[in-house]
Structure 1
Amino acid sequence: MRLRHVLTALGVAAFGALASGPVSAQRAPSGTPPTIAIIIDDMGFDATQGERLARMEQPLTLAFLPFRPHTVALARLAHEHGKEIMLHAPMANTHHYELGAGGLTPDMDQHTMTTVLRRSLQAIPYVAGVNNHMGSLLTQQLKPMDWVMAELEKYPLYFVDSRTIATTVAGKVASAYRVPSIDRDVFLDNEQTDAAIDVQFKRLIQLARKNGSAVAIGHPHKATVDYLTKHLPELDEQGIAVATVSGLWALRNDNRSMFVDGSKQPVQPAYARKQ
């Protein structure tokens, strides 16, 4: 049986009953193949590489920046091709890089922060989860993370802590609010060369073999897309499965579903403009 069919049989789509117990166990159940999830951040700017990612056969998870030129169109295309869609929420960083539209900053009060976050969620078609874009400053601060998770808890959404700084509290606060959460294990493409990406990709596979599963974050750079186009189809023969984030969460949590049907209010779409 091919690995993608194994994952289907195990219930990769992870939505349906409110999770109990730990929200981010490290190991998949025994007997399941080593499984990776690959998140591609910064989606919404590059239409060419974005379309290549959206049309890939493997179940990638694509994280879209809000209100960017190609966000809505690419998110719709990706959904049509079986990809999982996330909001890539811009958060303040220690280098003070500009965040752009939808940015969350420490000077915001709770009302402002939750309003900006809610509007960003509403701007992403088929949004299933959230991770932080940058955020090395904001994700260290308890109060802003408390406000973020209090808003996310209302919806059937998970959270991925991108772990852009070791002292992040984002994942812990998500757990406190019972927002299903997972941490990033590997960055694929801090260096955009085939050799450097290969080192990180092999590290991802090694972690998955050791722990049962692992999560990587990459970006829509041509070098990254070229590498994934070449090497993802080889994983089946290597005994490595690829899952969406929700699918990997299910594998780590006894194949339970994340949410009871109807227990959370859906995100109401409100796209700012036609894209």
Structure 2
Amino acid sequence: MGNNITQGRRLIEMDQPLTLAFLPYRRHTRALAKSAHANRKEIMLHAPMANTRRLSLGPGGLEAGMGEHGITGTLRRALKAIPHVKGVNNHMGSLLTQQLAPMRWIMSELDRYPLYFVDSRTIASSVAADAARDRRIPHLSRDVFLDHKTTTEYVDAQFQKLIATARRNGTAIAIGHPHKVTVDYLEKHLPELDQQGIAVATVSSLWAMRHDNRRMFVEGEKQAVAPALAKKDE
């Protein structure tokens, strides 16, 4: 989220309690995040992380070569640039999430705040969840990607896989992107889930379901993420 205002607004206006992940410093990130929060959506930082294909990360990107100070400082500024942020997941990251030291630096920074981490699992050998567990960061991992291919047929097949996974395990996490085909599909099919006995939940609510309705954090035990009009990293 953050680049496309039209699809962003459509997702925000959906009735279901979606969790929306925002790239830092994009043109519409701050306005859409504020609107999403007002419409009862949960907000994450979609943190760009180094990938094996060497695709550009854009502003706020995290790479191992930045070192601990560079990674934690860049992450801290990105968090402050996302209004109402409750958690973090990785954008790309097929390279960085395989490297334990950088993931430990990231979790060390997240440990300062009342934030959770969702491993997007862009590669099967990710150690992100392990690093989060070691630091006792509340964490979850993606089960299904909805739109690796941007066709209605593919999104539908993945959505059915999501439902099957949720029925089998009790809960499931899907990640999609603000592509028109994905938003069109969700707009049509999310309202049908109630009739199938399936509820949509935010990441925080889903985590609570998996942990006997325990709260993630004791009030006051962590410092709040102080909002700031952060500038793009050069």
- The interval holding the TM-score normalised by the smaller chain is over 0.9
- 1:259 and 2:217 correspond: yes
Q: 2:104 aligns to what?
A: 146
SS state of the match for residue 89, structure 1?
strand
Deviation at 1:109, TM superposition (A): 1.4
- 1:269 and 2:192 correspond: no
- 1:72 and 2:17 correspond: no
Q: d(CA) in 2 for partners of 1:160 and 1:146?
A: 14
Which of 133, 136, 148 is the aligned partner of 1:175?
A: 133
Which of 119, 124, 128 is the aligned partner of 2:77?
A: 119
Give the partner amino acid of 1:67.
Y
SS state of the match for residue 215, structure 2?
coil
Q: 1:83 aligns to what?
A: 41
Q: d(CA) in 1 for partners of 2:60 and 2:109?
A: 15
Summarize deviations over 1:19-44 as a string: whole Å, max 9, x none: xxxxxxxxxxxxxxxxxxxxxxxx00
TM-score by length of 1: 0.83
* Structure number having the greater helix percentage: 2
Seq. identity, % = 66
- 1:202 and 2:160 correspond: yes
Q: d(CA) in 2 for partners of 1:195 and 1:95?
A: 27
Identify unmatched segments of 5+ residues in structure 1. 1-42
CA contact (8 A) 1:84 1:244 kept: yes
Give the partner amino acid of 2:218.
V
Q: 1:159 aligns to what?
A: 117
Give the partner amino acid of 2:90.
N
Q: 1:225 aligns to what?
A: 183
Deviation at 1:271, TM superposition (A): 2.0
Deviation at 1:84, TM superposition (A): 0.2
Q: CA RMSD in A?
A: 0.7
Summarize deviations over 1:54-89 as a string: whole Å, max 9, x none: 111000000000000000000001001100000000
CA contact (8 A) 1:159 1:182 kept: yes
* Counterparts of residues 93-108 of structure 1 (less than 5 Å): 93-108=51-66
Give the partner amino acid of 1:249.
W
Deviation at 1:272, TM superposition (A): 3.1
Q: d(CA) in 2 for partners of 1:209 and 1:219?
A: 23
Which contiguous aligned blocks of 4+ residues in structure 1 show a shift greater than 3 angstroms? none
Give the partner amino acid of 2:230.
A
Bigger RCO of structures 1 and 2 (CA < 8 A, at least 6 apart): 1
Q: d(CA) in 2 for partners of 1:134 and 1:128?
A: 20
Give the partner amino acid of 2:111.
E
TM-score by length of 2: 0.98
SS state of the match for residue 87, structure 1?
strand
Q: 2:8 aligns to what?
A: 50
Q: 1:17 aligns to what?
A: none
Q: 2:208 aligns to what?
A: 250
Count of residues paired in the alignment:
231
Deviation at 1:112, TM superposition (A): 1.0
CA contact (8 A) 1:124 1:271 kept: no
Q: d(CA) in 2 for partners of 1:271 and 1:249?
A: 30
